[in-house]
């Protein structure tokens, strides 16, 4: 029987005669040799890492200035810490700010980010190799390298041109996040005002084309109505590359239970985000209020400098708690209880956010998740599903849908 951290704490108290001197659940997770072995025996897949944009912003897209072969404290990701964290397969993200929507710059900047990811992989052939299929992941990991996949974060980058999906697929993309922080013409974002009530007819065509290509539809950042529309239209399993459970942490970026059940029925996967603002319940409530406050401040302060100063004062007065490894595993527990063990994975969002739970401050922390899962009674086979086995299954099924579509013509 699996036990929550709180249940374990109560059990300890009762065994000590009901006297509470402090709960072990409040302290750090202690890594055991058993957890290390289980972690090393699985294939660990992280669904979302924004390092390429950080290289662009902090090092002018130069891997000479940001050498990933050694520890780089200006970012949360580098090869030594990927190795320390036991990360076997990483989705590197093509990110372009949502503000480029409608400017004619989004697709061009996306191509630059694809090129940067390919350059990163080429510079480290002993450690990284591009993966396009589930079989590629297994082969590359078996050879001792980190399978490097590509995801695209934001449908604004296709500039309402379905042919760009095929181009991005050819460049290595294996999922498309339909929106980022802003609603676009054909899909509503979780953190913006709705425009289509979910997907527009063109948005439905995007989903069908992704199915045909074998690219996963990524529900992270989209509104619940968009999620429901995708589940109605898609013929392949979907993912959410970095989201949590709304019932655990109430923020619009997280997934409500009815959608979790829909993802179960679809055969899809929720890859649990690590960002504290979506994981810790108190942090999620603060972040949700921040969304409303930012809109209010925008109206109150039309001058950009005045707005930024007002927002800084408001934000600094309300810091969000980091949470712990246990906060994150609470989301896994909930998704398992609603959708089942076959429908949950990991999607960190490292280098895409600023605050992460204690012991998960960078990519070296993944083994602590394995330890906490073990502490809660998960068996080795189920832990391996969460770490990466479920993502491999979803990819295979999406590849089969695309293969059948090619046969059907």
Residue 262 structure tokens: 């829909």
Rounded CA-CA distance 50/90 in Å is 11
- Catalytic residue set: 48, 50, 153, 180, 221, 242, 349
The rounded distance, in Å, linking the Cα atoms of 109 and 225 is 29
C-beta of residue 45 within 8 angstroms of C-beta of residue 384: no
| CA–CA gap between residue 331 and residue 314 (Å, rounded) | 28
150: left (phi over 0), alpha (psi -120 to 50) or beta: beta
- Whole-Å CA distances, 52 to 70, 172, 301, 356: 16, 15, 33, 19
Tokens of residue 142, six digits: 């078996």
The alpha-helical segments, DSSP class H, found in 191-223 are 201-213
Is there a contact between 217 and 226 (Cβ–Cβ < 8 Å)? no
- DSSP reduced 3-state for 62: coil
What's the CA gap between 203 and 209, in Å, rounded?
10
> What are 385's two structure tokens?
């599903």
Q: How far apart are CA 307 and CA 290, in angstroms?
A: 14
Q: 236 and 216 in contact (C-beta within 8 Å)?
A: yes
- As a whole number of Å, the end-to-end CA separation of the chain is 48
> 359 phi and psi, to 5 degrees?
75, 0
Residue 25 is given by DSSP the state G
Alpha-carbon gap, residue 244 to 254, rounded angstroms = 5
Non-local CB neighbours of 271 within 8 Å, separated by 6+ positions: 47, 48, 239, 240, 241, 242, 243, 344, 345, 346, 347, 391
Sequence-ordered list of residues with C-beta below 8 angstroms from that of 307, at least 6 positions apart, any chain: 297, 298, 300, 301
């Amino acid at each position: 029987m699996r036990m929550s951290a709180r249940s374990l704490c109560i059990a300890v108290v009762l065994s000590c005669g009901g006297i509470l001197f402090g709960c072990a659940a409040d302290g750090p997770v202690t890594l055991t040799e058993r957890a290390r072995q289980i972690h090393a025996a699985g294939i660990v897949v992280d669904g979302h890492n924004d390092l390429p944009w950080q290289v662009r912003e902090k090092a002018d897209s130069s891997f000479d200035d940001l050498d990933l072969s050694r520890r780089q404290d200006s970012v949360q990701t580098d090869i030594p810490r990927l190795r320390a964290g036991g990360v076997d397969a990483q989705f590197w993200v093509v990110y372009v700010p949502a503000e480029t929507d409608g400017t004619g710059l989004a697709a061009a900047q996306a191509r630059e980010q694809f090129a940067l990811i390919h350059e990163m992989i080429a510079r480290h052939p002993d450690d990284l190799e591009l993966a396009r299929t589930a079989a590629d992941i297994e082969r590359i990991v078996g050879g001792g390298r980190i399978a490097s996949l590509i995801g695209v974060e934001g449908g604004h980058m296709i500039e309402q041109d379905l042919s760009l999906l095929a181009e991005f697929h050819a460049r290595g993309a294996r999922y498309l996040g339909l929106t980022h922080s802003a609603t676009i013409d054909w899909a509503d974002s979780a953190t913006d005002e709705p425009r289509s009530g979910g997907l527009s007819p063109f948005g439905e065509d995007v989903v069908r084309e992704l199915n045909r290509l074998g690219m996963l539809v990524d529900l992270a950042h989209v509104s619940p109505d968009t999620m429901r529309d995708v589940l109605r239209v898609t013929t392949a399993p979907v993912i959410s590359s970095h989201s949590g459970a709304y019932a655990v942490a109430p923020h619009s970026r997280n997934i409500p239970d009815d959608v979790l059940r829909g993802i179960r029925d679809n055969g899809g996967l929720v890859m649990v985000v690590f960002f504290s603002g979506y994981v810790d319940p108190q942090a999620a409530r603060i972040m949700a209020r921040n969304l409303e406050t930012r809109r209010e401040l925008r109206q109150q302060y039309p001058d950009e400098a005045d707005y930024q100063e007002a927002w800084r004062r408001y934000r600094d007065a309300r810091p969000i708690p980091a949470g712990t490894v246990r906060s994150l595993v609470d989301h896994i527990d909930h998704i398992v209880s609603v959708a089942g063990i076959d429908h949950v994975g990991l999607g960190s969002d490292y280098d895409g956010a600023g605050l992460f739970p204690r012991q998960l401050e960078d990519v070296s922390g993944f083994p602590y998740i394995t330890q906490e899962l073990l502490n809660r009674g998960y068996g080795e086979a189920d832990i391996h599903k969460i770490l990466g086995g479920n993502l491999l299954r979803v990819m295979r099924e999406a590849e089969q849908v695309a293969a059948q579509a090619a046969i059907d013509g």
